[in-house]
Each structure stands twice: as C-alpha cells, then as structure tokens.
Amino acid sequence: MLLPMHPQPFEDELLSSWVTRIALENGLYTHALYKSCLGLDSSIFIRDIDKFFVPSLIDSLEEKTGLTSEKIKKMMLTSFEGRITERVIVNSNSRWILPLGIYHRTRRKKGIMYCPQCFAENPINYYKRIWRLSFIVICEKHHCLLRDSCPHCNSVIDYQRMGIGKAKFETPANDLGLCSSCTLPLWTNCSFTTPPEYTELISGYLAFLKAFTLNQPCIPLLKQPMELQEFNGLWILISSILRKRYFNSGVKANILKFTGIDINSSSGSHESFDQRPIEERLKILLAAFWVLDKWPDRLLQLASGTIYSQSTFQDLSEPPPYWLSTIIHRHLDKSIYTATDDELSSIQHYLKTHSIIPTTKTIALFANMHKGTCRDRLKSLK
C-alpha cells in the first residue's frame, strides 16, 4: 500500500535526502518510517544507505511510493560508478566520496555538504548527490563555498537524525534545511562569497564543475575518450602533489610562489584528499587546475627546482593513465645517466689508442659522469 504522502525525488537528489523527506511529509521521523512503515530493523541506522545497497529498503520504497527500484537506485552514489571511479567501495573509504564516519548511530565526519544559498532560495530543501563528492567544494549555481557543518552549533550534517529524542506526539519540522542538532536554519550566518584571493584562479575549476554537472568531458584539454581516465589521472596527480616527501621539499613552496595558494595541512598529517577539510580541498583543487590549465608546462613549472619527478609517481595506489604517464616519462625523468661497464672500458680503450692519458677526469668527461661517481665505478671495474 502506498504511503499517504510520497514526494517525488528531485532529479539530482540523494537517496537518504528523499527518504527523510518522505518521512517528514508523512509526519514521521526517519527512524519511525524505517520501523513502522518500511519494516526495517535498526541496523539500517549504521548503514550509509547512499552507498550500501539494502534490497529490503529499495523494495519497500518501491512498494510504498510507486517509484521503480531502478529510479530509486539512481539516487545512490553507486550511480557515479564508471564515471569517477570504477567501483564504489561500500565497507570502507571510496575514492572521491566523503566518508560519514558512522559510529553506532552517529556520524563523526563531515561527509555531506550543502549550499547555503540554494537552501535560502529553494522552496523545498533537499540534498544533492554531488554534495557527497570530495571534489565538489563550490556550488555550481551560486559559485559560493559549500558548507559541511552547522554555522550555529558546528554539528555535522545529519538530517536522518532529525527528531531523535523528541516525544512521539511532536510533529516534525518539515525542512531539511534546519540543523538536526540545534534546529536553526543552516543557510543563515554563512558567508556567501569565495575568498577574494582565489577569484582569478577559480575559473579553471568552475569550468570543470560546470562540465561535470552537465555530464560532459570535465577536462576537455586532455581529449580523453572516457571520463574515468580524467578522474583517475586527477586523483594520481593530486596524490603525487600531496606526497609528504615531495610536498615538503619544494612542491608546497612552488605552489605558493606561482599561485599564491598556501596549502597548510590543518591536521598536520598527510591524509588522503577525501579526508581533508573542505577549505583545504578547495586549495588543492585550485592548485591542480592551475597545473591542468596549461598542460603539461605547468607540471614542469611545479617540478622545477624540486625533487618532484618520475619517482614521485612510484608506489602510488595504481599506475597513472596514459595522458599522465607519457608526460611523466618524457619530462619528469630526472635520473642521471650512467655509462655501463662496457662503455667505460671502451672509453679507456679509445683514449689509450689515441694516446690520451685515461685519467678519471678525462674518462668522466667522455662518459658524461660526475668525477666521484666515475672514480668509484672504475675501482669496481678493476
């Protein structure tokens, strides 16, 4: 039997947002909807239902709302599979997806964001699927920085908890734009502008954002047939920039020198991109899109005077895609050429037959080697 109220989902809405709206429109809190109407046990609360496929949830929703299970599944983050990542990892961190940090029934991490301006002007507030993606930090419509916590009480965004602890007879406030903890409007008390110092740098990122929301190739300059190759490369590029050893040996300083962006790791550690605060992710993305804006020249500029090289890309989670690996091999191979033993013997022979005294200095000159290295190598030859 259908529920009395079954609001249609918005095209870009996240599953958990729609489920919460169904509950509130029916005068229920989410936990009551799960238990009494959908027949689910409390284990649903320790699941990230936007990632984790719960067949009984999808089946009940289909039955109670009349929406097909195919349409319901499209609201999950798994709908991004094949586009931004091969597979969404359900039981652990999944690339480009903000973790919720579910601990018992609470969420410890800032795993969902929102746009205060969207909330201020929308007649019905809801959460977009893209607001759980780590590389989305600015609203594509309003160009302001997204928020990931309540501006009044600093709680994480957890609309599914709305009404927890309230008495049964109380009617829930039917607005996902209210903080589940302090009940104040999430859109007030926010700054609507992006930091002015980034105005010039932001255009590359905004073009990427627009293309992503329109389902178009996000980094057209790279001419990649598949979006997945762009995203895999972007992940590796960002991971290489953030690698502690290289980041602290000139990369951070070069980013500051060339762009004015000071990437300071607030946590002090070197966590992966997805685990970092939103302000930091913005800075990292601006630096990455500054590099991609003049590809590959800017990558070489970033590497200049540093130890950032081919070796930076070794031992990363996976090999870089072709568009990135060709540049790395062609331009970032900083290994020093060393003559082979045979070549050194040939040089010695050549010098003797041409009546030139084969001193270490002369051999090193012919072999294009450092004198000290050449001396060591000659010793081992004897």
Site residues (vs Zn ion, CB under 5 A): 115, 117-118, 139, 141-142, 150, 152-153, 155, 179, 181-182
Nearer Cβ to Zn ion (72/118): 118
Q: Quote the least distance from Cβ 151 to Zn ion, whole Å.
A: 8
Q: Quote the least distance from Cβ 237 to Zn ion, whole Å.
A: 27
Q: Quote the least distance from Cβ 51 to Zn ion, whole Å.
A: 24
Nearer Cβ to Zn ion (83/143): 143
Amino acid symbol at 178: L
Nearer Cβ to Zn ion (122/373): 122
Q: Quote the least distance from Cβ 209 to Zn ion, whole Å.
A: 12
Q: Quote the least distance from Cβ 310 to Zn ion, whole Å.
A: 41
Q: Quote the least distance from Cβ 159 to Zn ion, whole Å.
A: 12
Nearer Cβ to Zn ion (112/255): 112
CA distances from 168 to 32, 36, 38, 143 (A): 9, 13, 18, 40
Nearer Cβ to Zn ion (20/259): 20
d(C-alpha 201, C-alpha 263), whole Å = 14
Q: Quote the least distance from Cβ 116 to Zn ion, whole Å.
A: 8
Nearer Cβ to Zn ion (213/311): 213
Q: Which residues contact 364 (CB under 8 A, 6 or more apart)?
A: 370, 371, 373, 374, 375
Nearer Cβ to Zn ion (16/149): 149
Three-state SS string over the chain comes to: CCCCCCCCCCCCECHHHHHHHHHHHCCCCHHHHHHHHCCCCHHHHHCCCCCCCCHHHHHHHHHHHCCCHHHHHCCCHHHHECCCECCCCCCCCCCCECCCCEECCEECCCCCCECHHHHHHCCCCCCEHHHHECCCCECCCCCCECECECCCCCCECCHHHCCCCCCCCCCCCCCCCECCCCCCECCCCCCCCCCHHHCCCHHHHHHHHHHHHCCCCCCHHHCCCCHHHHHHHHHHHHHHHHCHHHHHHHHHHHHHHHHCCCCCCCCCCCCCHHHCCHHHHHHHHHHHHHHHHCCCHHHHHHHCCCCCCHHHHCCCCCCCCHHHHHHHHHHCCCCCCCCCHHHHHHHHHHHHHCCCCCCHHHHHHHHCCCHHHHHHHHHHHC
Nearer Cβ to Zn ion (106/117): 117
Q: Quote the least distance from Cβ 191 to Zn ion, whole Å.
A: 13
Q: Quote the least distance from Cβ 157 to Zn ion, whole Å.
A: 9
Nearer Cβ to Zn ion (132/252): 132
